[in-house]
Amino acid sequence: MFLKFIEIFIIICGSVFVLSAFMILRNLFRAFYIGQLRIEELSLSKKSFVYHLIEWCQNNISYDNTSKPDFTIKYYAHSKYAARYHPVSRKCIFYIYQGQKIREIVNNVIHEFVHARQHNEDNLQLYDKFNQEFGYEKNPYEVEARKVANKYEDDCLLWIYDRVLAK
């Protein structure tokens, strides 16, 4: 009786494990393919695409005091920046060009949103000091923005595809 119970328990655990592994792999593959889409392949405008991404950020990675940042889109590739956060106007600027993959845009939107979040938290007051001390790449504000963007880009891609693009 007890052995039978153990056997059933192991079968259930095994099934749950296999199913979870399958779901994780499936999401990884889906996010990979969705991320390969190019901006002009989408059925909605660049502006509305970014609007929805900012909404996702506001609902999923904001803090209580994070106000939703405004944004501007420039329709060309900048020689130096993929996107920027402008602290004076509290605006995110995105350089979106023909042929750009949407994974890159999603990553940029989350990255700049994190800068807006940092601005709400501590006013980004040490940004320039950190740049001088550590350099741009190791500036803790940049490290955090890159880390959060890389962590959440798959979740955001899956959400935008299922809830916005596929509708």
State the residues that interact with Zn ion by CB under 5 A. 142, 145
**Pick 142 or 154: Cβ nearer Zn ion:** 142
- Rounded to a whole number of angstroms, the minimum distance from the CB of residue 150 to Zn ion is 13
Least distance between Zn ion and beta carbon 59 (Å)? 21
CA-based end-to-end distance of the chain? 51
* 69 class by beta-carbon count within 10 Å (0-12 exposed, 13-18 middle, 19+ buried): buried
Q: Which of 98, 100, 95 is nearest to 79 (CA)?
A: 95
- Bridge partners, 143 (sequence order): none
**Cβ nearer to Zn ion, comparing 55 with 87:** 87
Question: 63 or 136, CB closer to Zn ion?
Answer: 136
Residue 106 contacts residue 53 (beta carbons within 8 Å): yes
Residue whose beta carbon is closest to Zn ion: 145
Number of residues written out for the chain: 167
Whether residue 105 contacts residue 95, with contact meaning beta carbons closer than 8 Å, is answered with: no
CB-nearer residue toward Zn ion: 142 or 153: 142
Beta carbon of residue 97, minimum distance to Zn ion (angstroms, whole number): 19
In the complex, minimum distance from the CB of residue 89 to Zn ion, in angstroms, rounded to a whole number: 16
